[in-house]
Amino acid sequence: MSAVLVSTTINGDTVEFACQPDETLLDVLRNRLGLTGAKEGCGTGDCGACSVIIDGRLVCSCLVLGAEMDGKSLETIEGMAEGEKLHPLQRQFIDHAALQCGICTPGFLIAAQALLRKNPDPSEEEIRFGLAGNLCRCTGYDKIVRAVQAAAKEMRGA
Amino acid sequence: MRYESPATVKDAVALLAKEKGKAFVLAGGTDLLVKMKAGMLEPDLVVDIKRIKGMRDIRKSASGFSIGAGTPCAALSENAALVKAWPGVVEASSLIGSKQVQGRCTMAGNLCNASPAADSVPALVAAGAKVVIAGPKGKRKLAVEDVPSGVGRTVLKKGEFIESVELPKKDARGGDAYLRFIPRTEMDIAVVSAGVNLTLDAKGVITKARVTLGAVAPTVLLVGDAAKAIIGTKLDDAAKKKLAAACSAACKPIDDKRGTVEFRTEVAGVLARRAAEIAYARAGGK
Q: CB B186 to CB A63 under 8 A?
A: no
Q: What is the pLDDT of residues B143-188, one digit of tens each?
A: 999 999 999 999 999 999 999 999 999 999 999 999 999 998 878 8
Mark which of A79, A108, A133 sits at the end of a domain: A79
Claim to verify: residue B144 and residue B240 sit in the same structural domain: no
Q: CB A21 to CB B1 under 8 A?
A: yes
Number of domains in chain B: 2
Give the range of the structural domain holding residue B266, as residue numbers without chain letter.
Answer: 174-282
Q: What is the pTM of this model?
A: 0.96
CATH number of the domain enclosing A137: 1.10.150.120
Q: CB B2 to CB A111 under 8 A?
A: no
Number of domains in chain A: 2
With CA atoms as reference, report the closest residue to A52 among A24, A17, A31: A24
Strand ranges (E), chain A: 4-10, 13-19, 51-54, 57-60, 73-75
Residue B48 has pLDDT above 90, yes or no: yes
Per-residue pLDDT of chain A (158 residues; tens, 9 = 90+): 789 999 999 999 999 999 999 999 999 999 999 999 999 999 999 999 999 999 999 999 999 999 999 999 999 999 999 999 999 999 999 999 999 999 999 999 999 999 999 999 999 999 999 999 999 999 999 999 999 999 999 999 96
- Chain A residues 116-155 within an 8 A CB cutoff of chain B: 129-134
Claim to verify: residue B92 and residue B203 sit in the same structural domain: no
Query: Given this model, what pLDDT does residue B190 score?
Result: 94
Mark which of A13, A47, A79 sits at the end of a domain: A79
Mark which of A62, A79, A96 sits at the end of a domain: A79
Mark which of B143, B168, B193 sits at the end of a domain: B168
B212, B221 in Cβ contact below 8 A? yes
Q: What is the pLDDT of residues B56-68, one digit of tens each?
A: 999 999 999 999 9
Closest partner residue to B186 among A43, A63, A132, by Cβ?
A132
3-state secondary structure of A154: helix
Claim to verify: residue B126 and residue B251 sit in the same structural domain: no
Query: Given this model, what pLDDT does residue B185 score?
Result: 81
Q: CB B101 to CB A63 under 8 A?
A: yes
Nearest CA distance, A56 vs chain B (angstrom):
9
What residues pair up with B167 in beta bridges, in sequence order? B65
Q: What is the pLDDT of residues B75-105, one digit of tens each?
A: 999 999 999 999 999 999 999 999 999 999 9
Give the range of the structural domain holding residue A9, as residue numbers without chain letter.
Answer: 4-79
Query: Given this model, what pLDDT does residue A46 score?
Result: 95
Q: What is the mean pLDDT of residues B197-207?
A: 98
Claim to verify: residue B135 and residue B214 sit in the same structural domain: no
Residue B279 has pLDDT above 90, yes or no: yes
Query: Given this model, what pLDDT does residue B286 score?
Result: 87
Mark which of B144, B168, B192 sits at the end of a domain: B168
- The one-character DSSP state at A97 is T
Closest partner residue to B99 among A64, A67, A130, by Cβ?
A130
Contacting residues of A for B186, CB less than 8 Å apart: 129, 132
CA distance A88 to A81: 9
Query: Given this model, what pLDDT does residue A158 score?
Result: 63
- Quick check: B74 contacting A, CB < 8 Å? yes
DSSP conformation letters of A110-135:
HHHHHHHHH-SS--HHHHHHHTTT--
